[in-house]
Amino acid sequence: MAFCRSSLLLRKALGGSSRRVAAAALCSSYRSSEGRRWYSGEPTSAAGYHVNTVPSYMTGSVFWEKDKPITYEDFEMPRPKANEVLIKTKACGACHSDLHVIRGDLKFPCPCILGHEITGEVVQHGPQTDSNVIQRYPVGSKVVGAFIMPCGSCFYCSRGEDDLCEPFFAYNRAKGTLYDGETRLFLRNSRKPVYMFSMGGLAEYCVMPANGLTPLPDTLPYSESSVLGCAVFTAYGAVAHAAEVKPGNSIAISKAFGATEIIAVDVQDEKLNTAKTFGATHSINARKEDAVAKIRELTDGRGVDIAVDALGGPKTFQQCIQSVRGGGKAVMIGLSPGGGLGEVDIIQLVRRKVKVIGSYGGRAKTDLPRLVELAEQGIFNLESAVTRKYKFEEAAKAFQDLDNKTIIGRGIIELM
């Protein structure tokens, strides 16, 4: 729902071009597996460091494997390499993607440090780092990190399509490393490598390639701003790039992208109510109503211009496609547990010229600075996007709550 909610939040911000744009967010909350206990409530406490100089060790939360508790371990202080930044983590969002790894739905090398939605303070640059990077991110400055950390030089990055960065997927998502094929995380005593899910944000310090960062102004808080790096970033990518809804130059930023009708679809009334407070004009409980029929009813039988599926299961995939009008766009941003194959009515697709589009995150170099700007202008209400805060020691609890669907917005783990 965090994605879904941010989509709505964005679409509210993305309102008001001359043409009428209707958007539906299909976002069923997925089933939790009852009684599963992979979390532990007994971590060691995080050590408090004085950060005038970089300490030698840090504490990180380690996910070992499915059905094993998350534990807190001592690590060697991670060492950034060229054009990488060592960050003292201040806040990290608890996202469904982390939960997918915890539940074993998304394969990832273990042991690893999860957490990919961070803000923090720059403490060190890698040797031989470009002077522009050092100027842009001086030691002591505030930063926000995108979960897609572009390499900056591959085929896609050089075309400005850094949401498709090949090394990010080949190294980070496939192997849990950065782009030299190595992790920056090693356990203190054994020197055993621990892998990085994005930057591995659920640790006192993390290393990020500078290409994934954006300066965070003093006016924006550490905790709430962390959602810019995944939840808001993903929603923005879906609307701005996949759906290609263009902001009008002369239109107020609060109506920058054009959606005037926003239909939220979920299976929990509580989430739908929250969606309304974020600007949804209609809501549909897919458990009680036929979502596609209702969407058509609300749009003079036509369907919406853009439908976003934040779940990514075969059924919502189909509903997403069936919900759009002729020439409309069905944008898929969800990675459902187990994934699976979706069926498409080819005749409808051809005759109605429906576009089915995949979207994963946004573009760190161009989108994240824009999102920071929008947040600074108050276009996104970051405060209300975050509905629960946890201490670092409570990371496992945050994922437990996420799994139990008791977090309506975003849960943020604070490391301050």
Neighbouring residues of 329: CB distance < 8 A, sequence distance ≥ 6? 242, 243, 244, 305, 306, 307, 354, 355, 357
Rounded to 5°, the CA angle 28-212-257 comes to 55
Kindly tell me which residue out of 21, 165, 264, 372 binds Zn ion, with binding defined by CB under 5 A.
165
Buried b (16+ CB within 10 A) or exposed e, 144-180: bbbbbbbbbebebbeeeebbbbebbeebbbeebbbbe
Rounded to whole angstroms, the Cα distance separating 311 from 328 reads 19
Q: Select the span of 74-82, 228-236, 313-321, 339-347 touching Zn ion (CB under 5 A).
A: 228-236
**H or E stretch at 329:** strand 324-332
Residue among 117 and 393 whose Cβ is closer to Zn ion: 117
Residue among 179 and 278 whose Cβ is closer to Zn ion: 179
CB of 12 to Zn ion, least distance (A): 21
Rounded to whole angstroms, the Cα distance separating 304 from 267 reads 20
Token pair recorded at residue 272: 């739908």
Kindly tell me which residue out of 22, 62, 122, 157 binds Zn ion, with binding defined by CB under 5 A.
157
Our finding on whether 154 is near Zn ion (CB under 5 A) is yes
Rounded to whole angstroms, the Cα distance separating 312 from 334 reads 4
**H or E stretch at 186:** strand 185-186
CB of 70 to Zn ion, least distance (A): 17
CB of 116 to Zn ion, least distance (A): 6
Q: Select the span of 136-144, 151-159, 178-186, 313-321 touching Zn ion (CB under 5 A).
A: 151-159
CB of 258 to Zn ion, least distance (A): 26
Residue among 1 and 284 whose Cβ is closer to Zn ion: 1
Please name the residue ranges forming H helices in 209-258.
222-225, 231-236
Residue among 98 and 266 whose Cβ is closer to Zn ion: 98
CB of 336 to Zn ion, least distance (A): 14
Our finding on whether 95 is near Zn ion (CB under 5 A) is yes
Residue among 111 and 145 whose Cβ is closer to Zn ion: 145
Our finding on whether 230 is near Zn ion (CB under 5 A) is yes
Rounded to whole angstroms, the Cα distance separating 84 from 61 reads 21
Kindly tell me which residue out of 113, 151, 239, 372 binds Zn ion, with binding defined by CB under 5 A.
151
Are 120 and 143 within 8 A, CB to CB? yes
CB of 229 to Zn ion, least distance (A): 8
CB of 189 to Zn ion, least distance (A): 31
Is the preceding omega at residue 127 within 30 degrees of 0, hence cis? no
Neighbouring residues of 323: CB distance < 8 A, sequence distance ≥ 6? 24, 26, 291, 292, 295, 296, 303, 304, 307, 330
Q: Select the span of 161-169, 191-199, 220-228, 249-257 touching Zn ion (CB under 5 A).
A: 161-169
CB of 19 to Zn ion, least distance (A): 31
CB of 400 to Zn ion, least distance (A): 17
Size of the site for Zn ion (CB under 5 A): 8
Our finding on whether 97 is near Zn ion (CB under 5 A) is yes
CB of 197 to Zn ion, least distance (A): 10
Are 238 and 308 within 8 A, CB to CB? yes
Residue among 97 and 322 whose Cβ is closer to Zn ion: 97
Neighbouring residues of 23: CB distance < 8 A, sequence distance ≥ 6? 7, 11, 239, 243, 259, 261, 262, 263, 304, 305, 306, 307, 308
Q: Select the span of 83-91, 193-201, 224-232, 244-252 touching Zn ion (CB under 5 A).
A: 224-232
Our finding on whether 144 is near Zn ion (CB under 5 A) is no
CB of 323 to Zn ion, least distance (A): 24
Our finding on whether 13 is near Zn ion (CB under 5 A) is no
Rounded to whole angstroms, the Cα distance separating 77 from 60 reads 10
Question: What is the rounded radius of gyration, in angstroms, for the C-alpha atoms of the chain?
Answer: 21
Q: What are phi and psi of 297, to 5 degrees?
A: -60, -40
Q: 5: closest CA among 259, 274, 226?
A: 274
Our finding on whether 113 is near Zn ion (CB under 5 A) is no
Our finding on whether 415 is near Zn ion (CB under 5 A) is no
Residue among 213 and 230 whose Cβ is closer to Zn ion: 230
Q: Select the span of 84-92, 164-172, 189-197, 274-282 touching Zn ion (CB under 5 A).
A: 164-172
- The footprint of Zn ion (CB under 5 A) covers 95, 97, 150-151, 154, 157, 165, 230
